[in-house]
């Protein structure tokens, strides 16, 4: 069985590595880094985007300076695990900006949420007015982050 990455050649992998390190690299600098013409590099970058290898570009912001310095992870256990409950829960978390990530997981609970708030008082308010009101929520466990040791979106690219 071939993986999607199997369709990438060495130059594609170099491009992805370079863009992952610096998403604002100019097309000219990227072309120099991978030893291709700017036109060829642009075509490859566009193809990598169309094929879904590049999902987008964004700035990495400082949450503390923007009033969201407290990170809290939340385990969520639903009262029923039916398709209807899953869909209602997923739809509800999509519209909450405080919920940065939501992952369905295997194990002792159903979802793991990553949230950001200004402080613990803001989290308490969020828990009472939003979190515990989400569709199907039976139980939650909260883990406030004391120190962010590593935060990366870097994906190791082999090849």
Q: What is the DSSP letter of 104?
A: E
Specify whether the CB–CB gap between 33 and 18 falls below 8 A: yes
Which one is the CATH code of 9-50: 1.10.10.10, 2.102.10.10, 3.10.180.10, 3.90.1150.10? 1.10.10.10
Domain ranges of the chain: 9-50, 64-144
d(CA 17, CA 155): 9
| pLDDT tens digits, 46-77 | 999 999 999 999 999 999 999 999 999 999 99
CATH level 3 topology of 64-144: Alpha-Beta Plaits (3.30.70)
Length of the chain: 159
| pLDDT tens digits, 15-51 | 999 999 999 999 999 999 999 999 999 999 999 999 9
pLDDT at residue 2 in the model: 45
Over residues 105-122, the mean pLDDT reads 97
Handedness of CA 144, 148, 150, 155 (dihedral sign): positive
List the structure tokens of 140.
Answer: 């939650």
d(CA 137, CA 142): 14
Question: Which of helix, strand or coil describes residue 88?
Answer: helix
| Predicted structure pTM score | 0.88
Where does the pLDDT of residue 98 fall: very low under 50, low under 70, confident under 90, or very high at 90 and above?
very high
């Amino acid at each position: 069985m071939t993986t999607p990455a199997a369709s990438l050649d060495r130059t594609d992998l170099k491009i992805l590595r370079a863009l992952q390190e610096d998403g604002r690299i100019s097309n000219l600098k990227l072309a120099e880094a991978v030893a291709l013409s700017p036109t060829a590099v642009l075509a490859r970058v566009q193809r990598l985007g169309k094929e879904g290898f590049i999902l987008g570009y964004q700035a990495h912001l400082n949450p503390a300076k923007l009033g969201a310095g407290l990170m809290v992870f939340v385990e969520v256990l639903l009262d029923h695990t039916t398709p209807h409950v899953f869909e209602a829960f997923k739809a509800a978390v999509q519209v909450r900006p405080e919920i940065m990530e939501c992952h369905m997981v295997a194990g002792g609970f159903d979802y793991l949420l990553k949230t950001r708030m200004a402080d613990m008082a803001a989290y308490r308010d969020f828990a009472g007015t939003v979190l515990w009101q989400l569709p199907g929520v039976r139980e939650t466990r909260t883990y406030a982050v004391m120190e962010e040791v590593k935060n990366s979106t870097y994906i190791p690219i082999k090849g």
